[in-house]
Amino acid sequence: MITFLSAIILLVCGYLFYAKFVERVFVINDAQVTPAYEKTDGLDYVPMPWWKGWFIQLLNIAGLGPIFGAVAGALYGPVAFIWIVAGCIFAGAVHDYFSGMLSLRHGGAQFPALVAKYLGNTVKSAVNVISLILMILVAAAFTAGPAQLLTQLTPLSFTAALILVFTYFLLAAVLPVNQIIGKIYPIFGVILVVMAVSIGVALLFGGKPIPELTLANLHPGELPVWPLIMVTISCGAISGFHSTQSPIVSRTLKKESEGRKVFYGAMIGEGVIALIWAAAGMTFFGGTAGLQEALAAGGPAGVVNEISVSLLGTFGGILAILGVIILPITTGDTALRSSRMILSDWLSGLVNMDRKGMVLIMTIVVSIPTFYLSTIDYSFLWRYVGWSNQVVATVMLWTAVSYLLKEGKNHWIAGVPAMFMTGVVCTYIFYAPEGFGMAYGTSMAIGLTLAAIVIALYVRQIFRFKRMESDVSASAS
């Protein structure tokens, strides 16, 4: 219990202190007109209260990630607490803050546009493809999942439920952000928070000891912590998907000082949710072996349902059902909206079309593969989502590093997590079954060598900018 409570306190302190430090490095300017006012269009650029932005951001980035991912990551034992806390404060929240604030500074720009500005058009082209694939896969997964559950709970057939969910997705993708998303997300957000807090309180007073910190790897399958836990627990620590969602909210903020509360704060909120569910997974089933058996029997949805009903009774069962239906829907709809926005921005210079026509056509273009994938067994593709998600996160961190270097600011706040995540994604792709499936030692050697090359390029850039600063100072004198 001490470890669990300490971890929550650390996350809160991360927001109270480190978030302010990051904000000072960025240097906010509330006198600057935000895109919500500068580009008001009644569709995507709409001024909204920051608290609505917080709920929208939380639900956009959360989905089932901080619940299902945290439960799966709990198989490694209390070491998951370390990754959630450190990853959230120093990597994930920094990633989300810069993805949101750089978008805010650049007229509500999408993630690929930011990559192009700070890392070049070559990287942008690759990121456009990866981002779109990631968005479409997420939207498809979060169409099929809720549809299957609705089929179990109602007389609806799977096809009817699928059409119902997808119809909502289409409406959320094309209607003004304040008409559906802005109105219902705060309600859904309250459900998510109440669900997590209720489970957390029940854990504290449930009589079962919450495991204390140990650095030992307790995974029953003896899978290595590095780099697997960093991909398993992404939402709740760091997730590249967030950088594709932040522009939705950056186009609604009224002033720059709201960014810390919305972008950094929502990530801390997600970290707390992940921490609670990781603790629940470790505690409820009497250890990681019991948790593995439960996951094998009922999957993560079954585990969440069993924990909720057992700890909270009927109320918990209702929350679990609402959560498993609502949370993926509130991520899938904005994933579809983001894919529409990314594709529109990508093709805006090539297609001569009015804004309403562009919105409609691009929504149709991304909807066709999304709906198709939601009707088939595409699990072989879904396996790549975890890695591609963390690649996007790594690229966003390097984008922030480039921005900070060019501005002469403290680049280490993004540089350290960027180096760490580079090592993660480089090692993972060689070791994982969906990658090259190499031996662990070989994967470590190749992955860390590639990471070292990237780090060397980073160091070279640091010295390059220092030389440029020295030349400017010499010329001025």
Does some domain include residue 467? no
Confidence of residue 16 (pLDDT cuts 50, 70, 90): very high
In the predicted structure, residue 335 carries a pLDDT above the cut 90: no
412 in a domain, yes or no? no
Residue 464 lies in a domain: no
- What mean pLDDT, rounded, does the chain reach? 89
Cα separation, 178 vs 160, in Å, equals: 27
pLDDT, one tens digit per residue, over 380-404 is: 666 678 888 999 999 999 999 999 9
User: What is the rounded CA–CA span in Å between residue 469 and residue 465?
Assistant: 6
In-domain check, residue 149 = yes
Which segment, 181-195, 258-272, 300-314, is predicted with the most confidence on average? 258-272
At 115, is the pLDDT very low, low, confident or very high (cuts 50, 70, 90)?
very high
Higher pLDDT: 196 or 28? It is 28
Q: How far apart are CA 122 and CA 129, in angstroms?
A: 12
Tell me, what's the pLDDT at 352?
67
Specify the range with the lowest mean pLDDT, choosing from 62-76, 189-203, 316-330. 316-330
Least-confidence region, from 11-15, 45-49, 131-135, 344-348: 344-348
Residues 374, 147: contact at Cβ < 8 Å?
A: yes
Is 186's pLDDT higher than 90? Answer: no
Q: Report pLDDT digits (tens) over 199-222.
A: 899 988 887 889 998 889 999 998
What integer pLDDT is reported at residue 402 of this predicted model? 96
Q: Quote the tokens at residue 200.
A: 């957390």
Instruction: Say whether pLDDT at 424 is over 70.
Output: yes
Report residue 292's pLDDT band, with 50, 70 and 90 as the boundaries.
very high
Where is pLDDT greater, at 216 or 329?
216
Q: Is the pLDDT of residue 366 over 70?
A: yes
Q: What is the pLDDT of residue 362?
A: 86
pLDDT in tens, 158-177: 889 889 988 988 888 888 88
Q: What end-to-end distance do the CA atoms of the chain give, in Å? A: 60
CATH number (domain holding residue 111):
1.20.1740.10
**What is the rounded radius of gyration, in angstroms, for the C-alpha atoms of the chain?**
22
**Residue 465 has what pLDDT?**
87
The mean pLDDT value for 5-15 works out to 97
**pLDDT category of residue 229 using cuts at 50, 70 and 90:** very high
- Rounded to the nearest angstrom, the gap between the alpha carbon of residue 157 and the centroid of all alpha carbons in its chain is 31
Closest CA to 177 of 46, 34, 41, 39: 46
How many residues does this entry show for the chain?
A: 477
- State the virtual CA torsion across 82, 199, 197, 9 in degrees, nearest 10: -30
pLDDT at 180: 82
φ/ψ of 323, rounded to 5, equals -65, -45
Q: Is residue 457 part of a domain?
A: no
The answer to whether the Cα torsion of 192, 193, 199, 202 is positive or negative is negative
**Per-residue pLDDT at 246 exceeds 80:** yes
**Tens of pLDDT along 43-98?**
889 999 999 999 989 988 876 778 888 999 999 999 999 999 999 999 999 999 99
- Would 460 be classed as within a structural domain? no
How many domains, the chain? 1
Residue the block writes with tokens 């501005």 = 407
* CA–CA distance, 169 with 122 (Å, rounded to integer): 32
Amino acid (one-letter) located at 248: I
Task: Count CB-CB contacts under 10 A for residue 321.
Answer: 18
Residue 350 pLDDT: 65
* pLDDT(39) > 70: yes
What average pLDDT does range 261-270 have in this prediction? Answer: 96
22-26: long-range contacts at Cβ-Cβ below 8 A with a sequence spacing of 24 or more? 22/93, 22/94, 22/97, 22/260, 22/264, 22/413, 23/97, 23/259, 23/260, 23/264, 25/404, 25/409, 25/410, 25/413, 26/97, 26/98, 26/101, 26/409
Binned at pLDDT 50, 70 and 90, residue 314 comes out as confident
- Give residues with Cβ within 8 angstroms of 316, minimum separation 6: 198, 199, 202, 307, 308, 309, 310
Q: Report yes or no on 446 lying in a domain.
A: no
Q: Report d(CA 165, CA 161) in Å as an integer.
A: 6
Secondary structure of residue 165 in the 3-state scheme:
helix
Q: Write down the residue that tokens 């096809």 correspond to.
A: 159
The candidate with the shortest Cα–Cα distance to 280, out of 256, 300, 296, 253, is: 300
Range of the domain at 75: 2-390
pLDDT at 351: 64
Q: pLDDT band at 471, cuts 50/70/90? A: low
| Cis before 146 (ω within 30) | no
In a domain, residue 116? The reply is yes
Global pTM reads 0.91
Q: What pLDDT, on the 0 to 100 scale, is given for residue 298?
A: 81
